[in-house]
Structure 1
Amino acid sequence: MLLEREAAINTFNNALAESKRAGKVLLLGAEAGMGKTTLLEHMREISKDAYTVYWSGCDPLFTPRPFAPIHDFARQFAPELFPVLNSNDKTAKTASQIILAFFNRLEKFDKPTLLIIEDVHWADNATLDMLQYIVRRISVVPCLLCLSYRVDEVTIEHPFSTVINLVPSAHARRVELTPLSLESVKSLAKGKHSDPEKLHEISSGNPFFISEILATDQQLNKDVPSSVRDAVGARLNSLNNDEKSLLTTLCFIPYSIPLVLIKHLFPQDNQNSLASCLSRKFLNTDIDDEFRFNHELSRLAILSTVPIHIQKQTHANILLAIEALKLTDNLAWLVHHAELALDHVKVLEYAPEAAMQAAKLGAHKEAASYYSKAIKYIEYADSELAAKLYESWAYEAGLTIQTDTSVIDARRTAITLYRALGRKEKVAENLRNLSRLYWYQGQSERAEQLANQAISEFEKLPASSELAMAYSMRSQLDMLNDRTQNAIFWGQKALAIEKQFANPLVRAHALTNVGSALVMHGDASGEALLQESLEVSIENGIHEEAARVYTNYSDYCVRFKLLDKAEEMTTQGIQFDIAHELDAWTYYLVGLQAQLRLEQGRLVNAETIAKGVKSLKNQTVLMQLPSLIVLAKTQLRMGVDECVDNLQEALKNANAINEYQYLVPIHFAFIERAWLFDSPNSVAEHIDLISKIANEVLNTWQIGELITWHKRLGLKIISEEQQQTLYLRAAKPYQLEFDGEFVSAAEHWYSLSMPYHAALAYMQIDESDKFMQKAIDLLEPISAHAALKKLRKLANHRGLHESLSKAKRGPYSKTRQHPAQLTSKEQYVLRLLVTGASNQEIATTMSRSQRTIENHVSSILNKLSVNNRIEVMLRVQNEPWLAD
């Protein structure tokens, strides 16, 4: 009997019905004992005729098995996944390939499906990564994915909270079970307990607590047990010795227990004891003859009654039984029992093996956890093993946590041990990795020192891929610090060695460094190298390197005003990053797309995108900064008051990161503001700073901007000699304006699809209402209100204001305002499309023909530069402002 669960059942039924059209996620949360499993069993029973039901769960192991639920699902409906999951198999795949293979299997469900994963608060990180991938794409999977979890365990810091936040709101349904009321407790206690009010008080309305207390079958005149532990203990005392022994052994096993293991632990006749524990609802079983406790609270309550010294010996006995039965495929079990048995020999044997298996599957957090377990017994390891453990833990931890001092210390310890062992190649390899750790911490000088030391050590050894990677690391550091020739030198050395020792990662990494160094220096020959790196990366599945190419290539195209190519690269890059779950790269690139919109004069679009990125949670300052700078500059040109706060915040963050690629644009923004608001005396420090780095750092476009603002503001900060020197290196439209060829400059800007810059050139022409009107015609459609205000002030000063068109009022076309330039009808179709609605359903909703809707959908696909509905949904989920 399910009391007070009608609303939960209705929500569940509605979600099941909705999932026939577009997949849904049902988040079932409650405190322990509230009846999550009972509700799920009820829903399985009432839906099994109309839906296919698959069920899995997560175990409370200290370090769970990577992809544990997929192992269960493979057994139930996808045996072809077993080779993919087996890290010892030649067909074993990386985590991303496993997730993709599983998702592809889900897409092939041929009837409505209910997919249940219980206790996700215990999920391994690989499973959580899988869920992040699936929930973002749930709308295209024909199923209801139900995830149950304990709300009191899933705090904001819990990794599952990230999964919850990623579920698209349109496809999320939530159920939270609450305690039973006094009336329901009275109903349950009727005829079984004399004091339901006290029962309600003690249990706080928790159904499990109530059932345990009532199950003690106490006389009405006895006191109610003071806690659930007492209630479970009272039930346990009602069993015979064989039944007690069975349960007090099995409570040490927090995973599904194979029948063969129970028989080994209890070789005498155990059928009666097992049957009794099942009938009394201590245990339950499944069709595979695997057993587990009916409720985790029961297992923990029994476990808490066992003395510590017996716990240690029992774990040792279970470990020996698993080994004897050769149930060693699941290394998580072995490590769990070895650790709790305090068996250092077995921990040092099994934990590194489990770590390597997890790493092969891409479960790097689990790998780091396993290595840390082995390191607890480092005093029992020989020097070779100890060095390997420190090195391996540092690598895995460095992929999954911030590179704090513990990771650096582990690398340094490994270096010391390898030096003592005379392992020069390992010393050099760890020095290179240590260099990267310091670079991540922002200690560039120390990073370069270590990179040079790694190269020195490698050069004492025969040439290898490791030496090539050390050279490429050196190249990357130089490229990031605008040392172009050094970056090219080291990158080419890496490529030369890579020809002898083929390694796709080394080749792609070095090509990206050299190509980026060339193009950022204005040498277009680097484009071919970036394109080659992209091809190598995609062909070999080196996803992060491909993302780096898309980002650097897009950045270059925007900086050098190759706006058509920038449009192509940002769009392709965003699609690639979204498809491969590279969120950090995605939003950085979206920030560059906002900068592209700013250059194109699409100010409303730029503001929408930049605001969207700025509002996203869990971003670093670095990830947000490109968008913040664009937002500040866009609002400056639009005359939005909050631009001042955003300018100050962007300057503060750029100073903190202290890289010229961020400092230069924000200082230029302050200079532009001084011109727009006629305060030239406020910009001396900004122009002075940029002038000091002009020769070494600025590209031709930035040099042109420097001398142009200097002239527009009538400043004397730069000498005429320096101005002339910089003029010779400036981009063509800036040279034209500097020479007074304002019309030619404006036409040049317009040919580059940069109307704002064209308008500013026209504004420099004195005594001509014709060109002032042209500037107005360019500025009004893009909402550049600050520049318009400046223009009309200039016109009034020149006596031209009477002949100019009057200022327009009201908003501009919504088509112009949408980031992808969708029409209002296309925006409405898009909002329906992302709910999973078919063309026919959209046509019915909008009272239009299906052919009309097909045309709208085709136009949406084209404007979003995507191939199908799935990609549309992914873009909207990552860029929600597209459907606003």
Structure 2
Amino acid sequence: MDPMADRIPSTPLVGRRRELDQLLELSGVTGAGGHDVVLLGGDAGIGKTRLLRELAQRARDAGHRVLAGHCLDLGDSALPYQPFAEAFSSLDTAERQHVAERFPALVPVLPGLVAAGGPVVERAELFASVVAALDSLATDEPLLLVVEDAHWADASTRHLVRYVLAQGFHGPVHLVVSYRADDLHRQHPLRQALAEWVRLPGVRRVELEPLTDDDVADLARARSAEDLTSDALGAVVRRAGGNAFYVEELLDAGSGDRASALPETLSDLLLVRLERLDDQARRLVRAASVTDGREGFPALASAAGLTESELDVALGSAVDHKVLRRTGADDYGFRHALLGEALRQDLLPGERRRIHAAFLAALDEDAPATTVARHALAAGERSTAFGATVRAAEAAGRVAGYDEAARHYEQALALVDAAPEGTDEIDLVIDAANALVTSGQLLRALDLLRDHLVQLPTHLDTDGRGRLLVAIGNTTYFANLDAESEAASAEAERVVPDEPTVLRAEVAALRARNLTNKRHDDQALAWGERALALAEDVRSEAVISDAKATLTRLMVRSGQDPERATAAIRDLIDGSRASGHVLGELRGLHQMAFVHFNAGQLDQAEAAFVEGMRRAEETGWSWGPYGFDGRFFATLLAYLRGRWDEALVLGDAGPSAPVMFAAHLSAITLLVAAGRGDVDQVERTLPLRSMWRHDVAASVHSSTALVDLHGASGDLVAARRAYEALVELETRAWDEPLFPGRVRIAAVLAGQYAAAATSVGRHEQARLLEHAAELAATVEEVVRDQPSFGPEGQTWRHRAHAEIALLRWRCGVDAPTLDELRDHWVAAHAGFVSLDDPYEVARSGTRLASVMLAAGDAGGAAALLDAARRTAERLGAAPLIAEIHLHSPAPAAGESDLTPREREVLQQVALGLSNGEIGARLFISTKTVSVHVSNILAKLGASSRTEAAAIAHRDGLIESRR
């Protein structure tokens, strides 16, 4: 039945006519082509629920089916996908059964149909089934799904909402999601989610503002059972502050009586209201304040110490006094969540413990594990809490709720002293670590594993020690702590007996991966083959996939039979997907992407990275091993292909992301900052730099960006220091001083040297030339050390030698001829053209143009500069725009004769101020500023404000503020 059918509004809607009309149109009730999704935000009590009740009633009247679900404030005991489970619970038994038969993956979220110990449901299948089921329910009539209080949503629910928004519906299904805006502090996980959701097609955000004083007065009159005096009405308006819930609470608490002592806080108001309840109703609502809505009426009666008949009377009293309200045919809830919160906080410790114990005793065996665990822990029943917490963790893992699973496992470890005899604590530790790793908390997982390894006696339990060492080796491998991973794998090899066991197969697979990273390919091949043989012998699909992935990587690296290697990777991806081995699938997609990336096939590489990112989101591995890599490299390719604004969006991990991954993504956004000359970003990255050491790509790209940023600020010493710090890190952390990315950063550093060559003295030129010679030698050493150096690497090799040749030419020391110099830059430019890297095409094209101008080819240079200028303008690459103008013809005499006022305006334009801001500073109108800016652009021959600023800096028309 309709879950909102019993929520017919009892008072007229006041002050929300515009918002209601907007919701009716966007949710498809009155709008023919309305949006699929509305995100409805506003402060607590502002009127979201009342507005949604009105929307639901109007939708029903228009022939729509309405489903609703709520996110609950249950902390770590949150049930994954709670609002969707509640929405589906409103279906009658026959309809739920029909949905379950059509979409078996939905069984975990269909109340009354969950089978204990049922098969694991892959997140992607569950999510797709939710969308398909909602579409099927909308076959005969439009469907409106309302998800309330998303600020309390667990991570799994947020992921599901994100999938639903991105996927969309085929039929007339509309979704409204409400949340408390005032709960969204900086670190709140919903804050970043909303920023992502609102960018999706068909999503509209609606924010409720406080009611006006007139509306508050109208609402108070409508809600009051008696006429209010003007003083009483004024008190309500003043105290309510435009909040509809405050209005109702003030009235229900008797604030209309001027003689009564009005409470100063909402909590006080709520507690004053409870004094109007009789003893049985008070006991009922105090007990109800600790529920999660899944205990049932018998348990509630027991916890409140009431008989069934007394419970009925107490419910009636609580409803009459507007503390509780009906939320369905057979359910009740607090009229507002804040009522329950205030009551919970008011419970005395002993009272709270007794209530939880009563609930625990009354729960039946089918009660959700999270409910049992919460009541048991609060009641002091640690043994019961331990068992239920483990079951809750396992249940969350079965539906890919890894964030919740990790929290439950950690809670179980805190209760392990109450575990039954025979409990394997190491298995529990490893399960907790795996959940932490998959949810992106690698460093926390490492701390957990290391702590338990230290506590384990070295002379006892070699099996347990071996399992912990393998877990540490895998976790450090995923965290790019190669030295520690190698040490753990070597120790595991010594500790674990060389016998045909799953653990020995895991040791062999770990050894193979570590040796592959160290480029000891012969040894890695032997260990990989050994791991595969052992895994096949003991029938471990996970280790088989692991070993095959390593052997395939070695095949790719050898450069022999690339078609066979690509086919092997595809087989790995397909086989892992078919068997449900997410890690193997994501690792295969990662390898496939890099095969294309290193071959310069950026379209195919980007497709593989995006597929990896999508599969990670669908399976709950967004922050897990190889899952995050898809997002990182999709962000990188958006940058490389000139979609810088998209790269900034993808690179914004938000405050809820694990700090390590936020730091890695910041490396790409730093490249955009470098291209745009935003030198302020250097300081903003300081807190994140310690995390770059966990990822090779992040360290290379961030350091490359720092070289450009320091060069843009004129600090060549800092630029060289960034280069040397990267080399030191790669050598210390990964034992790879000749890493491929060294060619790129060497080229960028040499480019900064060449750019500064004509503005420094002979002594400084000599130092630059000396280090440039070292860079040239290093580039060739890196190339020789790499068995295969793809098109991208070769292009940067050409670029490095072109920059160094340009430096020598500008310094006049061992200078190449103009033809030789031109050949260097033609090769570099052509390479970037083939890689489809518009920024580097423009940057190398500008430098090629400078050489062509020196050679007298003004026509060819002009074409290159014009193309580079268009790209730089589109990207907002201010340093490149300035460089382009250095090589562009200067304006004819008199063309740049600016008036004193125009120079003042130009000075402010160069600071990036808007016309309005300039007018405020110079005490002139915005319109006058606009006229001055137009004149400035015309006189300088500039097409934009950015170009005008670059010309001004080049020609010394303004005072430098650097």
Find the counterpart in structure 2 of residue 473 from structure 1: 510
Find the counterpart in structure 1 of residue 773 from structure 2: 684
Find the counterpart in structure 2 of residue 155 from structure 1: 185
Partner deviation per Cα, 1:263-282 (whole Å, 9 max, x = no partner): 55522522233223223322
Find the counterpart in structure 2 of residue 873 from structure 1: none
- The normalised TM-score by structure 1 is 0.74
Specify which of 11, 14, 20 is matched with residue 22 of structure 2.
11
Query: Residues 319-330 of structure 1: matches in 2 within 5 Å?
Result: 319-323=360-364, 326=365, 328-330=366-368
Counterpart Cα distance in 2 of 1:779 and 1:508:
34
Find the counterpart in structure 2 of residue 860 from structure 1: none
Find the counterpart in structure 2 of residue 316 from structure 1: 357
**Does structure 2 retain, via aligned residues, the 8 Å contact 1:282–1:293?**
yes
**Does structure 1 retain, via aligned residues, the 8 Å contact 2:151–2:190?**
yes
Find the counterpart in structure 2 of residue 831 from structure 1: none
Specify which of 835, 857, 860 is matched with residue 801 of structure 1.
857
Find the counterpart in structure 2 of residue 857 from structure 1: none
Counterpart Cα distance in 2 of 1:781 and 1:512:
34
Counterpart Cα distance in 2 of 1:343 and 1:192:
52
Find the counterpart in structure 1 of residue 107 from structure 2: 83
Counterpart Cα distance in 1 of 2:843 and 2:756:
8
Counterpart Cα distance in 2 of 1:13 and 1:398:
43
**Does structure 2 retain, via aligned residues, the 8 Å contact 1:625–1:654?**
no
**Does structure 2 retain, via aligned residues, the 8 Å contact 1:93–1:361?**
yes
CA gap 1:540/1:589 in 2 versus in 1, 3 angstroms = farther
Partner deviation per Cα, 1:324-376 (whole Å, 9 max, x = no partner): xx4x3311211121122122122122111211222222212212222233333
Counterpart Cα distance in 2 of 1:395 and 1:759:
43
**Does structure 1 retain, via aligned residues, the 8 Å contact 2:839–2:871?**
no
- Residue 44 of structure 1 deviates from its aligned partner by 0.7
Query: Residues 394-409 of structure 1: matches in 2 within 5 Å?
Result: 394-404=433-443, 406-409=444-447
CA gap 1:336/1:192 in 2 versus in 1, 3 angstroms = farther
Counterpart Cα distance in 2 of 1:285 and 1:95:
33
Counterpart Cα distance in 2 of 1:293 and 1:178:
24
Does residue 60 of structure 1 match 2:73? yes
Find the counterpart in structure 1 of residue 929 from structure 2: none
**Does structure 2 retain, via aligned residues, the 8 Å contact 1:655–1:663?**
yes
Find the counterpart in structure 2 of residue 280 from structure 1: 321
- Residue 575 of structure 1 deviates from its aligned partner by 3.6
- Residue 431 of structure 1 deviates from its aligned partner by 0.8
2:132 aligned partner, one-letter code = N
Q: Tell me, what secondary structure is at the counterpart of 1:145?
A: strand
Counterpart Cα distance in 2 of 1:630 and 1:303:
49
Find the counterpart in structure 2 of residue 433 from structure 1: 471
2:357 aligned partner, one-letter code = A
Counterpart Cα distance in 2 of 1:615 and 1:229:
37
Query: Residues 287-686 of structure 1: matches in 2 within 5 Å?
Result: 287-323=328-364, 326=365, 328-381=366-419, 384-404=423-443, 406-415=444-453, 423-460=461-498, 462-523=499-560, 524=562, 526-561=565-600, 563=601, 567-581=603-617, 582=622, 584-590=628-634, 593=637, 605=642, 620-623=662-665, 625=667, 644-645=708-709, 658=730, 660-671=739-750, 681=769, 683-686=772-775
Counterpart Cα distance in 2 of 1:215 and 1:797:
85
Counterpart Cα distance in 2 of 1:816 and 1:187:
57
Counterpart Cα distance in 2 of 1:455 and 1:87:
41
- Residue 416 of structure 1 deviates from its aligned partner by 5.9
Query: Residues 751-766 of structure 1: matches in 2 within 5 Å?
Result: 756-757=830-831
Counterpart Cα distance in 1 of 2:606 and 2:18:
46
Specify which of 788, 794, 799 is matched with residue 699 of structure 1.
788
Partner deviation per Cα, 1:115-140 (whole Å, 9 max, x = no partner): 11111222222212211222222365
2:409 aligned partner, one-letter code = Y
Partner deviation per Cα, 1:659-696 (whole Å, 9 max, x = no partner): 62433332244446767998882523423444454543
**Does structure 2 retain, via aligned residues, the 8 Å contact 1:60–1:255?**
no
**Does structure 2 retain, via aligned residues, the 8 Å contact 1:779–1:785?**
no
Find the counterpart in structure 2 of residue 95 from structure 1: 123
Counterpart Cα distance in 1 of 2:220 and 2:675:
68
Does residue 167 of structure 1 match 2:197? yes
1:667 aligned partner, one-letter code = A
1:400 aligned partner, one-letter code = S
Partner deviation per Cα, 1:70-125 (whole Å, 9 max, x = no partner): 32233234541653443625344133322222122233332432111111222222
Partner deviation per Cα, 1:699-740 (whole Å, 9 max, x = no partner): 35589779867876898x9xxxxxxxxxxxxxxxxxxxxxx9
Partner deviation per Cα, 1:743-780 (whole Å, 9 max, x = no partner): 9x999x9xxxx9704999xxxxxxxxxxxxxxxxx999
Find the counterpart in structure 2 of residue 146 from structure 1: 176
Find the counterpart in structure 1 of residue 306 from structure 2: 266
Bigger CA drift: 83-92 or 297-306? Answer: 83-92
Find the counterpart in structure 1 of residue 213 from structure 2: 182
**Does structure 2 retain, via aligned residues, the 8 Å contact 1:520–1:556?**
no
Q: Tell me, what secondary structure is at the counterpart of 1:34?
A: coil
Does residue 119 of structure 1 match 2:131? no
- Residue 157 of structure 1 deviates from its aligned partner by 1.5
Counterpart Cα distance in 2 of 1:282 and 1:83:
34
**Does structure 2 retain, via aligned residues, the 8 Å contact 1:116–1:147?**
yes
**Does structure 2 retain, via aligned residues, the 8 Å contact 1:494–1:506?**
yes
1:171 aligned partner, one-letter code = G
Counterpart Cα distance in 2 of 1:19 and 1:456:
70
Q: Tell me, what secondary structure is at the counterpart of 1:269?
A: helix
CA gap 1:633/1:811 in 2 versus in 1, 3 angstroms = closer
Bigger CA drift: 516-525 or 654-663? Answer: 654-663
Counterpart Cα distance in 1 of 2:122 and 2:646:
33
Counterpart Cα distance in 1 of 2:272 and 2:42:
26
CA gap 1:73/1:92 in 2 versus in 1, 3 angstroms = farther
Counterpart Cα distance in 1 of 2:837 and 2:282:
83
Counterpart Cα distance in 1 of 2:157 and 2:82:
7
Q: Tell me, what secondary structure is at the counterpart of 2:332?
A: strand
**Does structure 1 retain, via aligned residues, the 8 Å contact 2:165–2:203?**
no
Counterpart Cα distance in 2 of 1:38 and 1:520:
63
CA gap 1:16/1:387 in 2 versus in 1, 3 angstroms = same
2:326 aligned partner, one-letter code = T
- Residue 162 of structure 1 deviates from its aligned partner by 2.9
2:772 aligned partner, one-letter code = V
Give structure 1 stretches of 5+ with no counterpart.
599-603, 636-640, 718-739, 761-777, 820-884
**Does structure 1 retain, via aligned residues, the 8 Å contact 2:849–2:864?**
no
Find the counterpart in structure 1 of residue 161 from structure 2: 131
Counterpart Cα distance in 2 of 1:39 and 1:449:
61
2:442 aligned partner, one-letter code = T
**Does structure 1 retain, via aligned residues, the 8 Å contact 2:393–2:408?**
yes
Q: Tell me, what secondary structure is at the counterpart of 2:863?
A: coil
The count of residues paired between Structure 1 and Structure 2 equals: 755
**Does structure 2 retain, via aligned residues, the 8 Å contact 1:358–1:366?**
yes
- Residue 448 of structure 1 deviates from its aligned partner by 0.7
Partner deviation per Cα, 1:287-342 (whole Å, 9 max, x = no partner): 4412211112222333444322111111101111114xx4x331121112112212
Q: Tell me, what secondary structure is at the counterpart of 1:148?
A: strand
1:65 aligned partner, one-letter code = L
Q: Tell me, what secondary structure is at the counterpart of 1:362?
A: coil
**Does structure 2 retain, via aligned residues, the 8 Å contact 1:31–1:151?**
yes
**Does structure 1 retain, via aligned residues, the 8 Å contact 2:396–2:404?**
yes
- Residue 449 of structure 1 deviates from its aligned partner by 0.6
